[in-house]
Amino acid sequence: MSKSQPRVGIVSLGCPKALVDSERILTQLRAEGYAISDSYAGADVVIVNTCGFLDSARTESLEAIGEALNKNGKVIVTGCLGATPELIRGEHPNVLAITGPQQYETVVDAVHNVVPPKHDPFMDLVPPAGLKLTPRHYAYLKISEGCNNRCTFCIIPSLRGDLASRPARDVLIEAENLVKSGVRELLVISQDTSAYGVDIKYAESKYQGRMVKAKFLDLARELGQLGAWTRLHYVYPYPHVDDVIPLMAEGLVLPYLDIPFQHASPKILKAMKRPGNQEKVLERIKKWRNICPDLTIRSTFIVGFPGETEDDFNYMLDWLEEAELDRVGCFKYEPVDGARANDLGLEQVDEDEKHDRWDRFMETQRAISEQRMQRKVGRTLDVLIDEADKSQAIGRSSADAPEIDGQVFVGNLGRKRLKAGDMVKVKITRAEDYDLWGDLVG
Ligand code: SF4
């Protein structure tokens, strides 16, 4: 790294979508000749990419801004919390600039103002896949920004705007470059993956000499042919989701669906204004599993939404028992400032009651997850290695997304030296609620 190169530090908070924003900002800055600093002291300016979804995330973001100001002094704030600049200025009047989510160009302009770029064509080597904050063997692939839904507990559309899909060609070229640079797993993300392309009327664009529609199924099929795992996140159960299940059965796309159901009681789902709120979801899940028995379904739920009665809650528990989802997270409802759910005139659920329901929910799901995990003992699974030493490797199967799901602990390595990104076969010998243990067999 040349000493004269201006150096930028970044603190990236929040969800994978925010991480992709940070990667884009860094890629642009690197292309302009900036170096990336991994310490506050070594940076000429620090970008804090914030999350503003829940009150707890806002507090964490404000603390991170404070820390960057203390340790460096020159701070630019971007991301979801940037949509409420008065909140940031109220606590930290000395930040140099504030921009909202996805305002890559404005962030880069703000960096130029603090420390201008020094262009050096021999230094500006940016890999075609861009710069990644994830390990080299997996990468998040953002297919759209924003969201057309208006779930009453969520303020994301007011922070990130309506759905704006990327042309299929752009997504596929990015994915292809990632695979060429060593990525073995593509994690498709957006706010609403199954709505991909609605805003651009499923426009076709030319990729590899053929026209590809900006449509959920078409994109999934193309991604599946790139030679890496394709994992679909944030899918809503619209009817056309049924069409992707055969691709999973064929092995083209990972048999994994991340569907944030959030509740099961029809009354609460209506109050939440959830997209894809279909009757007969349970029947569809059964059908999906008939077509693709290896399908893993991950989901998240909210307990204590305003107006949730004991009956609604019990309905959700019964639904869980019947749905037998594999991986489930649960949040206690938080009345986020600006969310319409607070103004629906529904009674708030008492905090102790929320806590009690959360415990009962987790206990019910823990037993279901454990039972489903036990079925894997004795099977041989494909495992993508995340880290390894001489005696043990840790990886993930098709059922495990990085960071949020379980892991597979691989022993019996013999003389084989594994490394991150290796794809191996593992015979499963033991299972717990989230993780698996097994022996390397090839
Ligand atoms: S689908 Fe609902 S919860 Fe998800 S981002 Fe859109 S409005 Fe928010």
**For position 321, what pLDDT does the model report?**
96
Distance between Cα 148 and ligand 1 center (Å): 8
Residue ID of nearest Cα to ligand 1 atom 8: 154
Report whether residue 393 contacts ligand 1, using a CB cutoff of 6 Å.
Answer: no
- The predicted pLDDT at position 375 comes to 96
What pLDDT does residue 129 have? 62
CATH code linked to domain 138-375? 3.80.30.20
CATH of domain 7-114: 3.40.50.12160
336 against 89, higher pLDDT: 89
Ligand 1 probe mutation, 149, 272, 331, most atoms within 8 A of CB? 149
Is there an atom of ligand 1 within 6 Å of 151 CB?
yes
Which stretch, 37-51, 83-97, 285-299, has highest mean pLDDT? 285-299
Give the dihedral sign, CA 376/380/383/387: positive
Distance of CA 306 to the CA centre of its chain: 26
pTM of the prediction? 0.78
Distance 229 CA to ligand 1 centre (A): 26
Give the pLDDT confidence score for residue 122 in this predicted structure. Answer: 42
User: Which residue intervals of the chain bear CATH 3.40.50.12160?
Assistant: 7-114
Mean pLDDT (whole number) for 360-371: 95
- Kindly give the distance from the C-alpha atom of residue 233 to the centroid of ligand 1, in angstroms, as a whole number: 13
Question: Where is pLDDT greater, at 221 or 56?
Answer: 221
Q: 275 CB under 6 A from ligand 1?
A: yes
Which residues of the chain form CATH 3.80.30.20?
Answer: 138-375
Whether the Cβ atoms of residue 305 and residue 351 lie closer than 8 Å to each other: no
Alpha carbon distance 241, 254 (integer Å): 14
Q: Is the pLDDT of residue 8 over 60?
A: yes
Instruction: Pick the range with the lowest mean pLDDT from 149-153, 195-199, 256-260, 337-341.
Output: 337-341
Q: What is the pLDDT of residue 30?
A: 79
So what's the pLDDT on residue 22? 87
Q: How far apart are CA 377 and CA 437, in angstroms?
A: 9
User: Which residues contribute to the annotated binding site for [4Fe-4S] cluster?
Assistant: 15, 51, 80, 147, 151, 154
| Owner of token pair 């839904």 | 149
State residue 123's pLDDT score: 41
pLDDT value for 171: 95
How far is 19 from 69, CA to CA, in rounded Å? Answer: 21
| 300 pocket-lining for ligand 1 (C-beta < 6 Å) | no
What are the residue ranges of CATH 2.40.50.140 in the chain?
A: 379-440
Q: Is the pLDDT of residue 407 over 90?
A: yes
Residue 128 vs residue 367, higher pLDDT: 367
Q: How confident is the model at residue 131 (pLDDT cuts 50, 70, 90)?
A: low
Q: Average pLDDT for residues 335-359, to the nearest whole number?
A: 92
Q: Is the pLDDT of residue 393 over 90?
A: yes
Once rounded to an integer, what is the mean pLDDT over residues 226-239?
Answer: 94
CATH number of this structure's domain 379-440: 2.40.50.140
Q: Whose CA is nearest to atom 5 of ligand 1?
A: 191
Question: What's the rounded Cα separation, in Å, for the pair 70 and 66?
Answer: 6
Measure the CA–CA gap between 280 and 153, rounded to whole angstroms: 24
Q: Which residues are annotated as a binding site?
A: 15, 51, 80, 147, 151, 154
80 C-beta closer than 6 A to ligand 1? no
Confidence tier at 128 by pLDDT (50, 70, 90):
low
Question: Does residue 348's CB lie within 6 angstroms of at least one atom of ligand 1?
Answer: no
Three-state secondary structure string covering the chain: CCCCCCEEEEEECCCHHHHHHHHHHHHHHHHCCCEEECCCCCCCEEEEEECCCCHHHHHHHHHHHHHHHHHCCCEEEEEHHHHCHHHHHHHCCCCCEECCCCCHHHHHHHHHHHCCCCCCCCCCCCCCCCCCCCCCCEEEEECEECCCCCCCCCCHHHHHCCCEECCHHHHHHHHHHHHHCCCCEEEEECCCHHHCCHHHCCCEEEECCEEEECCHHHHHHHHHCCCCEEEECCCCCCHHHHHHHHHHHHCCCCCEEECCCECCCHHHHHHHCCCCCCCCHHHHHHHHHHHCCCCEEEEEEEECCCCCCHHHHHHHHHHHHHHCCCEEEEEECCCCCCCHHHHCCCCCCCHHHHHHHHHHHHHHHHHHHHHHHHCCCCCEEEEEEEEECCCCEEEECCCCCCCCCCCEEEECCCCCCCCCCCEEEEEEEEECCCCEEEEECC
Taking residues 145-149, report their average pLDDT.
Answer: 91
Q: Report the share of the chain in percent with pLDDT over 70.
A: 94
pLDDT at 278: 63
Ligand 1 contacts CB of residue 147 (under 6 A): yes
Predicted confidence (pLDDT) at residue 75 exceeds the cutoff of 70: yes
